[in-house]
Amino acid sequence: MSSTNEQGLQNKTDTPSGEELSSELLAEFHEANRDNELFASTEDPEFEFDESGLQLASKEAELDLEAELEGITEDYNVPMTSWEEDLAREQAGEIAFRSGAITPEGLIEDDFEKELGTPSDAEDNDESEFRDVAQYRILEVAGDDTYGRKVIVASACRLPPSSQINHERLMEYLKYTLDQYVENDYVIVYFHYGLTSKNKPKLGWMLQMYRELDRKYKKNLKALYLVHPTNFIKLLLNIFKPFISAKFGRKIMYVDYLHKLKEHLHFDQLVVPSLVLEHDAKILSAQKPSYPYSSDESEAAVHNPKQQFGVKLQQILQNYKCVIPPVVETCVEFLRKNALDVEGIFRRSANASVLKDVQKRFNQGETVDFDEINDVHIPAVTMKTFLRDLQEPILTFDLYQPVVRLHTLEEDRQLIEVQRLFREELPKENYIILKYIIHFLTQVSQYSDSNKMNTVNLAIVFGPNLLWPKGQANLSTIGHLNSFAAYLIDNYTQLFVR
């Protein structure tokens, strides 16, 4: 294994030498390109597919690719089961692993939550325009990454057999989902394991998808993580190479092991499909990389009284003897003075190295002067990251279900219920901090003509950072969380009465 592979996270540039494209795949490419005229465009120049550029290698490589196209995962000796059996096992809880504490064997311990999905969630999905596709949970939203960018997860193993899903509807659903987030910076995590000959869309559909996802979708896509990449997907990307810009190509990253996602994402907020978890455990067991799941960071947080990121809110308030966490107060006061009229505030990501340095300084109890940094997006992302990194959301896990169900009440009853929740169920410390944050957001919204951050846009950014379940919210509940955040901003004076 090369040193790059040992690192487990690679930037995608070229397909490794010694791999080839099967004649069947090549023929499918030509047929899709000819019949569907997928590359006709008024925006991009025409390209000629250079067949000679794909050098054929050994017969063994060809056999490996053909095996993969047939859904055989010989590399890791993982038996393939039918999609129906996998779904039934997952729904029955037999393989209901969730992301959380990861054991030395590479398995992920149960976090005491059932698999995502409640009766209310099911009812919400039934109301969706795309409930016929959404029911498979192929796409999910997982809050923000460590740089404040929205995370969208796509799982190949949840694709049903091609005979059971309309891929045109899937295309529409994909665009519908992305349309909600493409105006802000975002990343995509694609779990490739589980794509077989039974559920693999035709190559022509994949080409069409790439063409339809035009600059609108690619501009703010900051990273595309391909988890557990195989020879097939690497060769497929090689096919696309003449049509992929160098800039977009640099956004594609190969991730060999799940734990490598922890460097960029809040891994404990992801709900990784059970089949992907099992596959990763087998890879870890076979490859035996250095044990990556150390809890040094969490243990350090316990012993560091100055820690602010990734700990309980009560710990911060107690150790700092404060009412508002220092990181929140510092960010808010700077942004209030310097960024109320900045276009796209809270929408843009920040320089990763600077952001990490700022977090480190806050965790060491240092005073951070954002005037010296000279980038208003650093405090904006720092504030979002702090809220999302809390071990429990500001609005607490207990209020998640009441908030999600709030939309079922009559409008006049909603105000009364939220007032009751704040009065009787939300801890006083949390209420004070929430009031402080929402008051600031009302001020930001008053400058929406210049900063383009009206109530709706602010709610999309802060909804998932103020409240989340013990696990990952699905698309329908994310909408309710955003609506609730907007409701708090629009009704600030009526809701925060104490």
Could you read off the pLDDT tens digit of each residue along the chain, which spans 498 residues? 444 444 455 555 444 443 444 454 555 445 544 444 433 333 333 333 333 333 333 333 344 444 444 443 334 334 444 445 544 554 444 433 334 333 333 333 333 233 333 333 433 443 468 888 888 889 888 877 877 788 899 999 999 998 899 999 999 999 888 888 888 888 999 999 998 888 888 878 877 887 788 888 888 888 899 999 888 777 777 776 666 777 777 888 899 888 888 777 877 677 788 899 999 888 888 775 554 444 444 445 556 889 999 999 999 999 999 999 999 999 999 999 999 999 999 988 888 889 999 999 999 999 999 999 999 999 999 999 999 999 999 999 999 999 999 989 998 899 999 999 999 999 999 999 999 999 999 999 999 999 999 999 999 999 989 998 886 566 668 889 999 999 999 999 999 988
Cβ neighbours of 292 (radius 10 Å): 15
Q: Which fold has domain 130-286?
A: Phosphatidylinositol Transfer Protein Sec14p (3.40.525)
Measured between alpha carbons, how far is 140 from 478 in angstroms, rounded to an integer?
10
Distance of alpha carbon 272 from alpha carbon 193, whole angstroms: 11
Beta bridge partners of 254: 10, 226
Question: CATH fold of 313-496, please?
Answer: Phosphatidylinositol 3-kinase; Chain A (1.10.555)
Domain range list for the chain: 18-66, 130-286, 313-496
- Closest by CA to 401, choosing from 469, 488, 476, is 469
Give the integer Cα–Cα distance in Å for 432 and 292. 39
> Which residue do the tokens 């947080």 mark?
301
For residue 121, count other CB atoms closer than 10 A to its CB.
17
Residue 74 is encoded by which pair of tokens?
Answer: 């010989």
Can you give the pTM of this predicted structure?
A: 0.57
